[in-house]
Amino acid sequence: MGYETKLWLVVVFLLSATYMQCFCVVGVPEVPCLFIFGDSLSDPGNNNKLATESKVNFLPYGIDFPDGPTGRFNNGRTSVDILTQTLGFEKFIPPFANTSGSDILQGVNYASGSAGILKDSGQHMGVHVSFGSQIHNHKAILSEITKKLGGPDQAQQHLNKCLYYVNIGNNDYLNNYFMPEHYPSSSKYSPDKYASVLIQEYATHLKELHAVGARKFSLFGLGTIGCVPQEILTHGKEGSPLCIEEETSAAFIFNQKLIDLVDRFNDELPDSKFISVNAKVTITKDLKSLPSPGVFDSVCCKVGPLGLCDPKKEAETCRNRKEYLFFDAIHPTEMVNEVGAKNAYNSPYPNYAHPMDISHLVKL
């Protein structure tokens, strides 16, 4: 089981090169606006000016990004950057921390590195913007949108057509539940109970978004967090499977509850549509038939104690970045993000997205 879980990332992200084509018509977005909520997997620089260890506005981060280091936690574009392009937007959605000169009618990115569904998750690293606070920031932006469009009715009509992208929850495990030296959650809750606590809080926040006009929701499940290099380094045991099965199993409990939440909200809120992406994946292919996954046992840059790239060792960053799954010890490379974004848009096989993928959601 450990070997299969270890290669889950390979299956998810590298299974089908046929999905690497671009589905977009740049300049003609499939939705008028995109609002983004999440953690470091989606953060475009919202943490840059915060008092936190979770910020990466320095090289080698951004080494493959057109503007260099922006605060994105990898070598280039994030998954939602690539999805933004796939949907046909000419520019990336701006960070909430810097919307000056940007067209907020096309959307805002509120994601914050180390943020979680729970307010406490990730706080040992310093200041961040939790999911609840991201929604508070969104409400402030909505006030500006209402003014721009001439009233609440016009704003509601606009927002009803927008795509709401939510990718959060990893830090509630990596930087909370499986960090007992900082948080008591694992001693208070079983994995099943903890997932229920998270989903309950998640549901409350989603209802807040619905109340202010959100109607199209793409919710991303958690990955094989037990296969993250930093987790293997800090929690792995000699002689045990490479991946931390306990962590991945706990994340998959959350994923199943997320699917259940999607089904419930689609029944309770018929004026909206919710989908879960990448939340129920099983290995059905012969692993030996996969193309070479490249270097997935190591990371592309030299990292410090927190698993982030060490700027003092920038020169030691790998050159063959397209052959690595992880850029630092926590975050995937742009190559992985590209495949993941394309698969989220156009599901490569059943159960990757439930009950539909993003390409169908945006057409509703």
Q: Residue 156 is encoded by which pair of tokens?
A: 């509601």
Active-site hit among 39, 43, 172, 328 = 328
Q: pLDDT digit string (tens) for 43-100? A: 999 999 999 999 999 999 999 999 999 999 999 999 999 999 999 999 999 999 999 8
Q: pLDDT digit string (tens) for 172-186? A: 999 999 999 999 999
Dihedral over Cα of 297, 349, 251, 331: its sign: positive
Active-site hit among 40, 42, 54, 121 = 40
- Any bridge partners for residue 164, and if so which? 35, 217
C-alpha distances (whole Å) from 233 to each of 184, 238, 321, 330 are 22, 10, 21, 11
Dihedral over Cα of 333, 334, 335, 339: its sign: positive
Query: Which pLDDT band, with edges at 50, 70 and 90, does 298 fall under?
Result: confident
Alpha carbons 159 and 15: distance in angstroms, whole number = 35
Per mean pLDDT, which range of 54-58, 227-231, 305-309 is the poorest?
227-231
3-state SS, residue 161 = coil
pLDDT the model gives residue 243: 84
DSSP assigned state of 18: G
Query: Which pLDDT band, with edges at 50, 70 and 90, does 198 fall under?
Result: very high
**One-letter amino acid of 160:** N
C-alpha distances (whole Å) from 255 to each of 11, 22, 273, 296 are 17, 28, 18, 24
Q: Between helices 131-149 and 152-159, what is the axis angle to 10°?
A: 120
Alpha carbons 98 and 137: distance in angstroms, whole number = 12
Q: pLDDT digit string (tens) for 148-178? A: 999 999 999 999 999 999 999 999 999 999 9
3-state SS, residue 71 = coil
pLDDT the model gives residue 289: 34
pLDDT the model gives residue 279: 54
- Asked whether the predicted pLDDT for residue 189 surpasses 90, the reply is yes
Q: Is residue 331 annotated as a catalytic residue, yes or no?
A: yes
Q: Is residue 182 annotated as a catalytic residue, yes or no?
A: no
DSSP assigned state of 215: -
Q: Which long-range contacts (CB under 8 A, 24 or more apart) does 301-309 make?
A: 301/60, 301/327, 301/328, 303/230, 303/328, 303/329, 306/53, 306/54, 306/125, 306/230, 307/229, 307/230, 307/233, 308/53, 308/54, 308/56, 308/73, 309/56, 309/60, 309/61
Q: Is residue 120 annotated as a catalytic residue, yes or no?
A: no
Q: pLDDT digit string (tens) for 100-116? A: 888 999 999 999 999 99
Alpha carbons 191 and 249: distance in angstroms, whole number = 9
pLDDT the model gives residue 115: 98
